């Protein structure tokens, strides 16, 4: 008689991690670009670049921006346009901002489309931004409700991707190395969703990539199309093949860090960078205690041309 196990990671290789850098509020949305790690230090209103030792440099300081709707300027997902400008979500303003190295300008206004704060994004080679949203006012105590994805075209026009359905707070989002698919993971669910993507950037055929054993958050893809997925609730980052098989896991002590987002970087893109914090709901406490940190783990498969 064959014994069964309830451990979803029973067949997964265990990878260890080490702390690279600390002293952040709630670090999020790590990106590897131009030979360096970039991330948002959310409640300090900053977008940062880290050198090899983990020392941060401020790329964008949003603390002096006058919010259009009176909310705090909290940076979420970001990426780079073909002309080199950075586009970044101002989550609670529901705006996509563009940074040209001198000033922030409005790239796209999503306030009439989003049903809650906008969240993460991935930018394709043409400058098209696929954007996730919370879908409800989480930080004001509203009940969770499903919401669709959004897209901002290269010219700054935006629309709701209603044809793809709605998701339980889609969060991390990534484009496969060959550009043929987009993958996102739910933060108020456990489903990892995938969509076909054509040469014009249109998404279609929503289907299930796999199921996590605990709700997800940030994610990235590797050169084989496998997904690295963070779970704050489960305290792990895991690698999932299309179809749901879990091949690798990195576990974290959640008294030290709650893993929320990851990206593959380094010279060969075989370093998994994991961002995490301790306090997400009390923004002032998160700033004051500065327990957010960045961790690294060596992995076998690099990021290749996957985005972010």
Report the percent of the chain where pLDDT is more than 90: 93
Residue-level pLDDT at 101? 97
* Range of lowest pLDDT (95-109, 141-155, 238-252, 288-302): 141-155
* Range of lowest pLDDT (126-140, 177-191, 261-275): 126-140
Q: What residues does 96 pair with on adjacent strands?
A: 89, 108
Average confidence (pLDDT) over 278-297: 96
User: What's the predicted TM-score (pTM) here?
Assistant: 0.95
Rounded Cα distance, 91 and 298, in Å: 31
Residue-level pLDDT at 137? 82
More confident residue, 117 or 143: 117
Q: Is pLDDT of 185 > 70?
A: yes
Rounded Cα distance, 119 and 38, in Å: 17
What does the mean pLDDT of the chain come to? 96
Domain boundaries of the chain, sorted by first residue: 13-298
Average confidence (pLDDT) over 285-300: 97
Q: Check the CA dihedral 145-131-120-208 and report its sign.
A: positive
DSSP 90: E
Superfamily of 13-298 according to CATH: TolB, C-terminal domain (2.120.10.30)
Average confidence (pLDDT) over 12-20: 97
Q: Is pLDDT of 224 > 50?
A: yes
CB 239 within 8 A of CB 220: no
Q: Which residues of 38-68 are buried (b: 16+ CB within 10 A; e: fewer)?
A: bbbbbbbbbbbbbeeebebeebbebeebeee
Cα torsion 239, 244, 245, 246 to 10°: value is 30
């Amino acid at each position: 008689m064959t014994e069964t196990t309830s451990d979803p990671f029973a067949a997964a290789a265990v990878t260890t991690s080490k702390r690279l850098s600390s002293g952040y509020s709630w670090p999020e949305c790590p990106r590897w670009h131009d030979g360096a790690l970039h991330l948002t230090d959310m409640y300090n209103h900053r977008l940062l670049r880290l050198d090899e030792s983990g020392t941060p440099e401020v790329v964008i300081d949003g603390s002096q921006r006058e919010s259009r709707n009176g909310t705090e300027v909290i940076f979420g997902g970001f990426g780079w346009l073909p002309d080199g400008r950075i586009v970044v979500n101002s989550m609670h303003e529901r705006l996509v901002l563009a940074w040209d190295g001198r000033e922030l300008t409005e790239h796209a206004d999503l306030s009439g489309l989003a049903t809650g704060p906008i969240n993460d994004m991935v930018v394709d080679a043409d400058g098209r931004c696929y954007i996730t949203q919370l879908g409800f006012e989480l930080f004001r105590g509203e009940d969770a409700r499903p919401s669709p994805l959004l897209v901002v075209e290269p010219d700054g026009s935006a629309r709701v991707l209603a044809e793809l359905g709605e998701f339980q707070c889609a969060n991390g989002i990534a484009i496969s190395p060959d550009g043929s698919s987009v993958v996102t993971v739910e933060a108020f669910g456990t489903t990892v969703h995938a969509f076909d993507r054509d040469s014009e950037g249109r998404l279609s055929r929503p289907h299930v990539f796999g199921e996590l054993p605990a709700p997800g958050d940030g994610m990235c893809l590797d050169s084989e199309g496998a997904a690295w997925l963070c779970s704050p609730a489960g305290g792990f980052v895991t690698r999932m093949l299309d179809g749901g098989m879990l091949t690798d896991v990195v576990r974290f002590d959640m008294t030290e860090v709650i893993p929320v987002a990851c990206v593959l970087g380094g010279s060969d893109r075989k370093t998994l960078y994991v961002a995490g914090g301790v306090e997400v709901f009390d923004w002032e406490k998160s700033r004051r205690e500065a327990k957010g940190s960045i961790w690294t783990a060596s992995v076998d498969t690099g990021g290749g041309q996957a985005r972010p």
